[in-house]
Amino acid sequence: MDLLSNKWIVNLLVCCLFIGVGCNSVEKKIYVHLNYTVPCVRLLNATHQIGCQSHLSGNVGVLHVLESEENVDWVLRSGPNPPYLVILESPLFTRSIMMKLKNASSRVAGVAVVAPSANPLEGVSPHTTCPNENTGVYTENYDPSLAHCNMTVWNPLGSGLSYEQFDFPIFSLKDDNDTQVIRQCYMDHNRAVNGSTPQYPLCAMQLYSHMSAVTDTATCMRRNDINFSISPEMVCDPLGDYNVWASTRPINNTAKGHKMWESVVIAAARLDSRSFFFEVAPGAESGVSGFVTLLAAAHALRNPIQVAPPNRTILYTFFQGETFDYIGSSRMVYDMQNNHFAVDLDNVHSVLEIGQVGLRADSRLWLHSDPVSRKNSSVNAEVRKLIESLQSAAADLNVTVNETGFSQPLPPSSFQRFLRARPIPGVVIEDHQSAFTNRFYESMYDNAEYLNISYPPNLTPEEQLVLVTDTAKALTEVATMVARALYIQAGGAATQLKNINADPNIVTRMLYGFLVRSNNSWFQELIPSDLMSHLADRPTNFYVGVAQQSSEPTLLVQYLLANLTGSPTNISQDNCQNQREDEKDTESKHMYYYMWVQGALPPNSTKRESFCVRSTVRLSKALSPAFDLREYTSKDYSTWTESRWKSIKGRIFLVASHDLEMLTLGVGVAVLLASLLLTYIMSSKADILFSSGREPANATY
């Protein structure tokens, strides 16, 4: 290649570089990208789809800040520049307004909801009034009079908004600099003054949240199976995760199925929650209050059970995906029925479930049981014993427990999935007698503030971590009651009850870690180094996610339960990670699980005191059996899937009038045609225009 060619290549590359830099610079001048956006995403089940999505290229609309419900008419009818992208303050994010916008979707490009800095005074629940009504125990075949919440409407504030389908994107925006820029842009360009029509240029927003899946789960799973290329593109994934469980006595987890002479008392709680928006599911009352109580109870029982083991084994279970038709509990019951779990249903003696226990009026808790199974005299006798155990366990505590009416059905609970399989004695502990006391059930407001968890402003994060709050003290009382009742139910001696007490310091650290910030020194001690990336300076998100890997709550509860119920073991890191006591040990892995954790960081040191924890903690699948059976229209199991997407983002910019855009396009086309015509003329006359005159042959100098 000659020197001239090299110069041309260099020049071309330099030009490309300048063009790229110039385009990037122009793009930054045109658009303001939004930093903190949380979308509503599309979910599907056996019959339909719910959630939101944008067009493939995003939805663009002129910004309109909705100041009151009366102002919605501007968007629906009178506004001259549709479609509009509506900015809502959180008090206006109601079913009434959203259904009006949904029914006028041709004039609505999308909705952005400004997340509040404090909870509203009135209750808000985007969930249904009867959670999981079609997959619980109460059906036309079990007791029709109790089905579909005929007896008790559990969530009377439920608007059902989370289960609607919207044909435009809906985002949640953090109330920070982004929203200030949006409001200022609206005030400068879009707000009508004294009834006048806003003049161009107008402030507009573009939201991207295109979803790949459509129609229902059967359709999207069928599309997943179509392989037209080497790397087929998936359009949806089943919701799911892993259940976390541990036993007070080692159980051989390799040999599945029935265990001879084994009797198990299941102590259960749910791990997951949700809200209208993806990745915003604090679940403080709906989930955290229950499983933190159970974790604290498990810790309180560790030493007493070692000193005086009861006759029965207590099985601590933490179910994932319960919000979506009992994914975790239905899977465990299915595995027990098919000999895929460490024990089977014949081994189950009884069930004690801890539900919503964070909002106790007058320190009162309610014991719920199933009126249908209690018609069996043996079941009723065991339920009576469990209730009496709970009442005696609460005798010297600041907790009052009461039974609900005998004819009242169970509230939404994992225990219902066990009753679908067979009549098993059981009780569900709740802080409500009938309807939920939780005013923010499955919403973004079910957070630390709602549980009255707050700290003095002058405390550092580490000081907040160890401050024992009033909520922590209250839940410690509940955990002590639960631990004592479980010990009695498992056949333990009543003389040991005084030695069973939950630790408020453990409870307050768990509440801080799950509801304020998981990235704290205590959580860091209890996990391995490769999981540090899961800790964050924010509350934990309890949305179950898709069944591809363990979520943050699952991993944290797994390691917490191991540290709270297991024991440090003096073995090497290599042996620990290879599930053995030493090189010759081949049996321990069947009975125990070994975890290498970071340990504490001594003062003035950079090296942690890592160690191995031996416990009985295990993970089991929390994936609906419908996906293993390929029964995507199942009425017995959860069929929820989550759509995949390409990108989630938003940006604002100024948009010119349609007339100006057409004029600009027309001028551009005219310039193009003129240049083509000029090029043609010059090309056809090139021999005249660019010919050089020849000198005469006889010219002399």
62 lies in the same domain as 191: yes
The residue whose two tokens read 């469980």 is 245
DSSP-derived secondary structure letter, 438: -
Classify residue 48: in a domain, yes or no: yes
> How confident is the model over 287-304, as pLDDT tens digits?
999 999 999 999 999 999
3-state secondary structure labels for all residues of 241-277: EEEEEEECCCCCCCCCCCCCCCCEEEEEEECCCCCCC
Question: How far is the C-alpha of 411 from the C-alpha of 136, rounded, in Å?
Answer: 10
CB crowding 292-305: b at 16 or more within 10 Å, else e:
bbbbbbbbbbeebb
Average pLDDT, stretch 40-52? 96
Q: For the whole model, what pTM was predicted?
A: 0.91
Interhelix angle 552-565/504-515, nearest 10 degrees: 170
102 lies in the same domain as 68: yes
Compute CA distances 255 → 260, 571, 591, whole Å: 12, 26, 10
Compute CA distances 125 → 445, 616, 624, whole Å: 9, 38, 26
- CB contact at 8 A, 410 and 369: yes
pLDDT of the residue at 557: 98
600 lies in the same domain as 524: no
549 lies in the same domain as 653: no
Compute CA distances 423 → 142, 263, 279, 378, 525, whole Å: 11, 16, 37, 10, 42
Identify the H or E element spanning 618: strand 618-623
Compute CA distances 53 → 208, 472, 630, whole Å: 8, 40, 27
401 lies in the same domain as 439: yes
Q: Which of 357, 329, 333 is nearest to 343 (CA)?
A: 333
Classify residue 476: in a domain, yes or no: yes
The residue whose two tokens read 């540090």 is 532
> How confident is the model over 343-359, as pLDDT tens digits?
999 999 999 999 999 98
The three-state secondary structure class of 107 is helix
119 lies in the same domain as 152: yes
**Residue 526, both tokens:** 């209890």
Question: How far is the C-alpha of 618 from the C-alpha of 169, rounded, in Å?
Answer: 39
- CB contact at 8 A, 104 and 138: no
Neighbours of 168 (CB within 10 A): 23
Neighbours of 603 (CB within 10 A): 5
Average pLDDT, stretch 88-96? 93
Give the dihedral of Cα atoms 136, 141, 143, 149; nearest 10 deg. Answer: 40
**Residue 35, both tokens:** 């930093």
63 lies in the same domain as 120: yes
Nearest-5° Cα angle at 26, 21 to 31: 130
First to last CA, the chain: 42
Q: Is the pLDDT of residue 18 over 60?
A: no
pLDDT of the residue at 699: 53
Classify residue 681: in a domain, yes or no: no
Classify residue 670: in a domain, yes or no: no
Could you tell me the CATH number of the domain that includes residue 554?
3.40.630
Provide the number of structural domains found in the chain: 3
165 lies in the same domain as 277: no
Q: Which of 634, 636, 621, 557 is nearest to 332 (CA)?
A: 621
DSSP result, 342-399: SS-GGGEEEEEEE---S--GGGEEEEE--TTGGGSHHHHHHHHHHHHHHHHHTTTTT-
Question: How far is the C-alpha of 43 from the C-alpha of 21, rounded, in Å?
Answer: 40
Question: How far is the C-alpha of 279 from the C-alpha of 209, rounded, in Å?
Answer: 14
Q: Is the pLDDT of residue 15 over 60?
A: no
Question: How far is the C-alpha of 424 from the C-alpha of 427, rounded, in Å?
Answer: 10
Question: How far is the C-alpha of 78 from the C-alpha of 101, rounded, in Å?
Answer: 14
Q: Which of 408, 389, 397 is nearest to 364 (CA)?
A: 397
Question: How far is the C-alpha of 363 from the C-alpha of 570, rounded, in Å?
Answer: 43
| Band of pLDDT at residue 147, cut at 50, 70 and 90 | very high
Question: How far is the C-alpha of 12 from the C-alpha of 500, rounded, in Å?
Answer: 79
362 lies in the same domain as 342: yes
278 lies in the same domain as 198: no
- Cis ω for the linkage preceding 409 (within 30 of 0): no
**Residue 325, both tokens:** 């038709």
Interhelix angle 377-393/470-489, nearest 10 degrees: 140
**Which structural domain range is residue 75 located in?**
26-235+648-660
Instruction: Tell me which of 8 and 93 has the higher pLDDT.
Output: 93
| Band of pLDDT at residue 4, cut at 50, 70 and 90 | very low
| Band of pLDDT at residue 606, cut at 50, 70 and 90 | confident
| Band of pLDDT at residue 659, cut at 50, 70 and 90 | confident
| Across 22-26, 189-193, 201-205, 418-422, least confident range | 22-26
**Residue 578, both tokens:** 């290879």
The three-state secondary structure class of 551 is coil
369 lies in the same domain as 500: yes
Classify residue 510: in a domain, yes or no: yes
Classify residue 640: in a domain, yes or no: no
Question: How far is the C-alpha of 658 from the C-alpha of 239, rounded, in Å?
Answer: 44
Classify residue 699: in a domain, yes or no: no
- CB contact at 8 A, 53 and 100: no
Neighbours of 339 (CB within 10 A): 12
Strand order in the sheet with 593-597: 567-569, 611-615, 593-597
Q: Which of 442, 446, 444, 549 is nearest to 38 (CA)?
A: 444
Strand order in the sheet with 313-319: 400-403, 364-368, 426-430, 348-354, 264-270, 313-319, 240-247, 618-623
> How confident is the model over 360-373, as pLDDT tens digits?
777 899 999 999 99
219 lies in the same domain as 310: no
Q: Which of 353, 500, 459 is nearest to 414 (CA)?
A: 353
pLDDT of the residue at 196: 75
pLDDT of the residue at 385: 96
Q: Is the pLDDT of residue 63 over 90?
A: yes
pLDDT of the residue at 695: 54
Classify residue 688: in a domain, yes or no: no
Q: Is the pLDDT of residue 3 over 60?
A: no
> For all residues of the chain together, what is the average pLDDT?
91
Question: How far is the C-alpha of 72 from the C-alpha of 65, rounded, in Å?
Answer: 10
| Band of pLDDT at residue 692, cut at 50, 70 and 90 | low
> How confident is the model over 211-267, as pLDDT tens digits?
999 999 999 999 998 877 667 789 999 999 999 999 999 999 999 999 999 999 999
Q: Is the pLDDT of residue 49 over 50?
A: yes
